[in-house]
Chains A and B, each alone.
Chain A
Amino acid sequence: MTERKFVKPLKPKVDVNRVNTRILPVEFEYFEPRTVKEVVELLSKYGSEARILAGGTDLIVRMKQRFIEPKYIVNIKKVKELNFIEDRGDHLAIGAATKLREIEKSGIVRKRFVALYEAVRSMAGVQIRNMATIGGNLCNASPAADTAPPLLVFEAKLKIVGPDGEKLVPISEFFLGPGKTVLKHDEVLAEIWIPYQPEGTGSAFIKIARVAMDLAKVNVAVALRTEEGVVKSVKIALGAVAPTPIRAYKTEEFLTGKELSEATLEKAAEIVKTEVKPITDIRSTAEYRREVSGVIVKDALLKAYERISGR
C-alpha cells in the first residue's frame, strides 16, 4: 500500500484578501510592436525587466497581485505574423499569439487534432478564451497548462525567434519546471508546428478539475493508432502531476504491440501511476492525483480508440 502522510494545510505566499485586484499598481512603459523583429529588438534592449503581454489573463493578474513588476510591457497582440492558423502540408502552424477561441473555431483543429480541440474547449470561459493565447499558455509553463498534453502527444515543434535568428525546439524539451522554459529573455515563441498524424490515429483529452473555470487537478492527452485492435503507436501525456507536463514513455512502451484488452488497460493504468510525480496543493492531493492519473489515461485510451476511423 502507498504510505499516507499527514497533509499540512497550505499557506498562500500572499494574503489574497489583502491584495487589491481592482487596480494595476505597477508602472511601466508600454510598447505595441507590429513585427517579430521589433519584439525581439525590444526584448534585447530591456532584458529581464520586460515582459510580453499576449492575452493578459495570467500576466495582468500576476501584476495585480504584485508577484511580478515589469518595467516594460511588450504587447504582441497586434503582431500579425504571430496571429494565424495555417495548413502547411505536413503540419499545421499556429501563431503563438493566436487566441484560444480562434483555435477552437478552426475546422482543421477540430477534425485533425481532436485532443487539442477538446483541451481548448475545456479551458475557462468564453471571455478568457477570447483573450488568452496558445503561446501564453505554453510560455507561462504551468504544469497544468491544458494545451501542453495534446501538443506533447502530437509531438509539436516550437519556433523560437531571438536576436541570432530562429530555431525549432521539440515541445518535449521546452518546459524546464514550474514557470520555467528554455526561452531566454530576448527570445519570443513565434509559432507552434503540429505535424499531421498518420491516417487511422485517434486522439482524446480528459481533464479533472474542481469546477469548469478552474485549472486542472490532472489532465491527459492520448494519440493512438491501431491495426486490427493491436497498438501500432501510442503517445500519452499528462499535466499537473509533475513539475512540467510529461510524456508517459514507459506506459507507451508497454502498450505498443499489444491488443487493447481490459487487462492491458488495467496494467497500463498501473504503470502510469509509477510514472507520475504529483504533489499536494490547494487543488488536490498527491494520492488522488496519482490514482486518478491511471483512471483517466485508461478512459482517454478508450475514447481515442473509438475515434479511430475505419477501425
Chain B
Amino acid sequence: MGKIIRFRLNGRPVSIYVENNELLLNVLREKLGVMSPKYGCGIGECGACTVLLDGEPVLSCLTLAVEVDGKDVVTAEGLAKDSELDVVQRAFIEEGAIQCGYCIPGFILVAKKLLEENPEPDEDFIREYIRGNLCRCTGYVNIVRAIKRAAEELKFHVGKNKQV
C-alpha cells in the first residue's frame, strides 16, 4: 500500500512511488541517492538524519515519506550554489569542525536555520540550539566555533553589500 508523492528536493521537482510505511530518510538515501542525511539512532535522539522540511529542521528517520507530498525538502546537497560551497559549509571546513563527518550534514542544516533566526548568536545560544545533534567524535568546540565564524562571515558579506 502506498502512493506516488511529488515534492521538491533541493530545488528540483521529484515524483516517486513510496510505501505507506517508508521513512523519508530511506527514500532519500536508497531511492533518490541523496546520501548526506544519515541513520544514527533511529529514535530521535541524535539528529544525524536532519533535513529541512519547508525550511524547518526535522528528523527524516521519524517522518513518513507519504507526508512530504507537496512539500519542500532540503539536504546538505542542496546548499552549494553553482558548485560553490555555502558559507556554513566553508566555515566547518576552515575551523576543522569535521572529524568522522557522520553528524556534520545534520549540524550544517541546523546551523543554517540557527543563523537565519539569529545572525549574531553567542556561544550559549549556539549550544542550546544544537543540542538535538550529537557528535560521536565529541568535536563540539570546533563545531560551535565554525557556526560563530559563519555568522561573522555572513555579517561581513552583508556589510560589504550595503557599502556597494
Chain A interfacial positions (CB closer than 8 Å to B):
20-30, 53, 56-57, 60-61, 64-65, 73, 75, 77, 101, 124-128, 130-131, 212-213
Contacts and interface: CB of A to CB of B under 8 A. Distances in A.
Contact of A131 (B21, B22, B59, B110): B59
B133 interface: yes
Nearest to B42: A21
B41 A21 contact: yes
Interface stretch (B63-71, B73-81, B95-103, B150-158): B63-71
Interface residues of B, number: 32
B57 interface: yes
B145 interface: no
Contact of B57 (A29, A57, A126): A126
Interface stretch (B9-17, B43-51, B83-91): B43-51
A212 B20 contact: no
Interface string B114-134: 000000000000000111110
A23 B23 contact: yes
Nearest to B57: A127
22 contacts: A21-B42, A22-B39, A23-B26, A28-B1, A28-B20, A28-B21, A29-B20, A30-B66, A60-B23, A60-B62, A64-B43, A75-B64, A77-B67, A125-B131, A126-B57, A127-B50, A127-B57, A127-B132, A128-B59, A128-B132, A130-B57, A213-B132
A124 B23 contact: no
B66 A125 contact: no
A119 B133 CA distance: 20
B57 A22 contact: no
Contacts of A127: 44, 47, 50, 57-59, 110, 132
Contacts of A101: 56
Interface string B22-57: 110010000000000001011111010010010011
Contacts of A75: 64, 67
A262 to B, nearest CB: 31
Given A21-B43, A56-B63, A56-B64, A30 B20 contact: yes
B149 interface: no
Given A30-B1, A75-B67, A125 B43 contact: no
A30 B64 CA distance: 10
A130 B45 CA distance: 14
A130 B58 contact: yes
A66 B94 CA distance: 44
A29 B64 CA distance: 12
